[in-house]
Structure 1
Amino acid sequence: MTPRRFGICIDANDPERIAGFWAAVLGRETETSGDEIRLLPRAEDDLRIRFLPTDAPKTLANPHHLHLTSSLPDDQQRTVDRLIGLGASHLDVGQQPDEDHIVLGDPEGNELCVIPAGNRWLEATGFLGEVAADGSRENGIFWSTALGWPLVWDQDGETAVATPSGSAKVAWGGPPPVPRGPRDRFRFDLIAPEDTGPADEIRRLVGLGARLIAETHGGGRWATMRDPDGYEFEVLAPR
């Protein structure tokens, strides 16, 4: 099976500001298409990131968040200082004093962690090293099969996959511990390959355990679906 590309969609009250923040953090250019702003990938399997407008305020913790890595001992604090200068802020999400990662929120409070140097789990990844997700083992297995990416971890109910080049990981850490609103602000995208069409891709994902919410036409969006844990995701046309 042709591996799929993986993406992130974040709802924002000010998409231009949030897209600009993340473009500066990751060193990417932006592109506007209709109602969305995209961060352009720099490599073939860079995680796709896009932002959509919403009027709803952020009131709950996101079920998924990003991990940024460090190569040298001073990199963690340099990254934190740089992100604070771009509009991020420190967050208290209940982290313990002995935890060595630093938790920040982007300008709209979307959680992220800056990981210190020496982290063995992320040592082979890029700067955007991981999407840390709530989710069951069954959900991790679903996404591994849906994307065509092999599992790189499957132990004690936790699972993870990696991009084909190993540049980033997506990890599921167990059942959702946070309250859920009517719609998550941080969602996943599955980008279809060139050799498939909407009907076949939707049928394949339903066969793997996803549920179709609605077929979508226009804007490069094929369908809105839910994965086995009930998280909403979109199926996008090849890009």
Structure 2
Amino acid sequence: MATRLVQINMKARDDAALGRFWAQALGWGVDSEGPGVTNLEPVGFAYPDPVAVCIDIVARPEPKTVKNRVHLDLATTSPAHQAELVQRLLDLGARPADVGQGEVPWTVLADPEGNEFCVLEPREVYRDTGPVAAVVVDCADPREMARFWDGAMDWTLHEVADDFASMRSARGVGPYLEFIRTPDPKVGWNRVHLDVRPYRGDDPAAEEARLRALGATDPGIDQSGIPWTVLADPEGNEFCLLAPA
């Protein structure tokens, strides 16, 4: 058994408006599965497929108050493309963001609801990822996070070090999942989190038990009204275990 990363879940005060921003930013299609939920995926995409990690934007009234521990890095193909993309995103409603990055070759922006993301300078490693180069998770211990997520998913580890770890679908397509050491502690619920899904035919209860054996914990919320399972990784980051598909 194994899971795979299929989407990120992003909270928003206005899911439809934020969905329009990200659809235009990525060149993706936008859909809705009901009031308060906006889904984004590439046009013509057959879900689930590792060529893309989709985005679910869910309406929540709470305002954003701290830096997100999960963010997107966007890929570019040339300095001119990076400059053009940054300007286009600013025109769409993004704004410059300062997260203490100092002088770096990438550009840090925030979307219209304040969610931080990066527009990277051209990097060979991301040449074939599509518009999203990586889903990035801040953490205290990249090695431990790599251990857990390597066991949780059937993705392939590409690099593991004290300050950085990365993994990608075993098919060698789509964005990377990266863990970067940061000094900031986790505060409150993550407004952006990972959603993983087992394969068709897998036993959800057995998969939950397997993840718990790897180090997943109970986040301590009432889950009686939802059809999926919410767990937390070894550093307390919430994630959802969706139904097999």
Structure 2 length-normalised TM: 0.88
Paired position in structure 1 for 2:149:
143
- Which runs of 5 or more structure 1 residues have no equivalent in the other structure? none
Deviations along 1:132-185, one digit per CA (max 9) or x if unpaired, are 2112211122112211112100123421111233321011112x4335332111
Equivalent position to 2:126, from 122, 126, 142: 122
Distance 2:155 2:144 in 1: 15
* Partner of residue 172, structure 2: 165
The letter of the residue matching 2:105 is: D
Give 5+ residue unaligned stretches, structure 2: none
Report deviation, 1:205. Answer: 0.8
Amino acid at match of 1:172: F
Aligned residues: percent identity? Answer: 33
Distance 2:203 2:40 in 1: 24
The code of the aligned residue for 1:23 comes to A
Aligned counterparts of 1:160 and 1:124: Cα–Cα separation in 2: 16
Cα distance in 1 for residues equivalent to 2:185 and 2:4: 30
Say which of 107, 115, 128 aligns to 1:110.
115
Contact preservation (8 Å) 1:215, 1:222? no
TM-score, normalisation: structure 1:
0.90
Whole-Å separation in 1 of the counterparts to 2:211 and 2:162: 26
* Cα deviations by residue, 1:22-65 (Å, 9 ceiling, x for unpaired): 11111222222244221134362110210111111111110121
User: Of 92, 101, 106, which residue of structure 2 is paired with 1:101?
Assistant: 106
Instruction: Point out 4+ residue stretches in structure 1 off by more than 6 angstroms.
Output: none
Aligned counterparts of 2:240 and 2:3: Cα–Cα separation in 1: 16
| Aligned match of 1:24 | 24
RMSD of the TM alignment (CA)? 2.0
Three-state SS of the structure 2 residue aligned to 1:210 is: coil
Question: How far does residue 215 in structure 1 lie from its aligned partner after superposition?
Answer: 7.7
Q: Deviations 1:71-128 (Å, cap 9, x if unpaired)?
A: 122000110111111111111222222x1101110001100111112x2342342221
Q: Which amino acid is the alignment partner of residue 206 of structure 1?
A: R
1:212 aligns with 2:218: yes
Give the partner amino acid of 2:98: D
**Greater CA drift, 103-112 or 188-197:** 188-197
